[in-house]
Amino acid sequence: MAGVRFPGLTHPGVIGTAPSNELLRIWNDRERQLEESGVESLTLCEVVHQRPLACLPTTKGCLLGNIEEGTPEWERIANEAARTIPGRENGGNCDIKNLSRGSKIYLPVFVEGANLSTGDMHFSQGDGEISFCGAIEMSGFLELKCEIIRNGMQEYLTPMGPTPLHVNPIFEIGPVEPRFSEWLVFEGISVDESGKQHYLDATVAYKRAVLNAIDYLFKFGYSKEQVYLLLSCCPCEGRLSGIVDSPNAVATLAIPTAIFDQDIRPKNRKVPVGPRVVRKPDVLKSTYDGKLPITKNPSSSS
């Protein structure tokens, strides 16, 4: 995107441990109940509900490693294995941009050996990854150091649910997060774009903050599609700023002003009309000719 520059914050979108059979049953039961009894009257243009409401186990597109497809074992596992779309108690697909180099994550362990897995590498992402796949995805490998805290779940994690399995990970932010001193912050409340009032709905509030930011930056010469993608990959920060004053939750989206080649702050004079982005000669120039050396994964056997 011309006229915009920001540093990457590489991180894995997925990192987690394997669930126990009991935890897997809890996931499937509660998500099936949501899918079967969830609201049917809401439409996508009013709020951000989508269909299906949950991705239940299915054999379609199921990848089960070395288990031979079509066998009774493959069918059994495929029909109960959780889809890895959402983050859950085990970590998983949380898409937390701050899990970068030097960070630490404390994951609960539910099975012998933990079965830690990770992937979905991102070069950069904004809080929320608002366009679903709008982060800058990349290939790569991770170097991890793992330690076990014996009885750590019992000592440090308080279950927020009916069983000891209803816990969530903890993490420490690494030292490489880009630091900005000036931000333009957009606010949203629990009122959707049709004017309908929702009760303390932080998702609607965050959506409104994002739409406010998109419409605002559109006035400075960017297309709305460009801004939509930009907010998915630049180091913007999303916050739940208020969740106690009914009926409106307040969400905010903070955008660092330094990533733009023009001043995007409101001023007394009129907003520039049409594309006024300052274009530097090298902004759109790529130096990659397709012949750069490939970095080999040092942990690979081949």
- Rounded Cα distance between 233 and 126, Å, is 5
Q: Kindly tell me if the per-residue pLDDT of 215 is higher than 90.
A: yes
Q: Is the pLDDT of residue 274 over 60?
A: no
Q: What are the angstrom distances between the C-alpha of 90 and each of 14, 58, 222? A: 11, 20, 39
pLDDT range class, residue 35, cuts 50, 70, 90: confident
Q: How high is the pLDDT of residue 273? A: 53
What pLDDT does 283 receive?
47
Question: Is the CB of residue 297 less than 8 Å from the CB of residue 141?
Answer: yes
pLDDT classification of 22: cutoffs 50, 70, 90: very high
More confident residue, 108 or 290: 108
What ranges make up the beta strands (E) of 114-156?
A: 117-124, 136-137
- pLDDT tier at 53 (50, 70, 90 boundaries)? confident
The reported pLDDT for the residue numbered 289 is 56
Give pLDDT, residue 276.
47
Q: Give the C-alpha separation, 85 to 52, whole Å.
A: 12
* Those residues with Cβ within 8 angstroms of residue 140's Cβ, 6 or more apart along the chain or in another chain: 10, 121
| Mean per-residue pLDDT over the chain, rounded | 86
Angle, vertex CA 268, rays to CA 264 and CA 274, nearest 5? 50
* pLDDT on residue 48: 62
Q: Which residue has the higher pLDDT, 2 or 238?
A: 238
Answer whether residue 199 shows pLDDT above 50. yes
pLDDT digits (tens, 9 = 90+) for 260-271: 988 899 988 776
* Band of residue 42 on the pLDDT scale cut at 50, 70, 90: low
Residues 198/207, Cβ–Cβ less than 8 Å: no
**Is there a contact between 32 and 261 (Cβ–Cβ < 8 Å)?**
no
Residue range 144-158, pLDDT digits in tens:
999 999 999 999 999
Give me the pLDDT at residue 168, please.
95
- Which residue matches tokens 């000891």? 164
Query: What average pLDDT does the segment 89-101 reach?
Result: 93
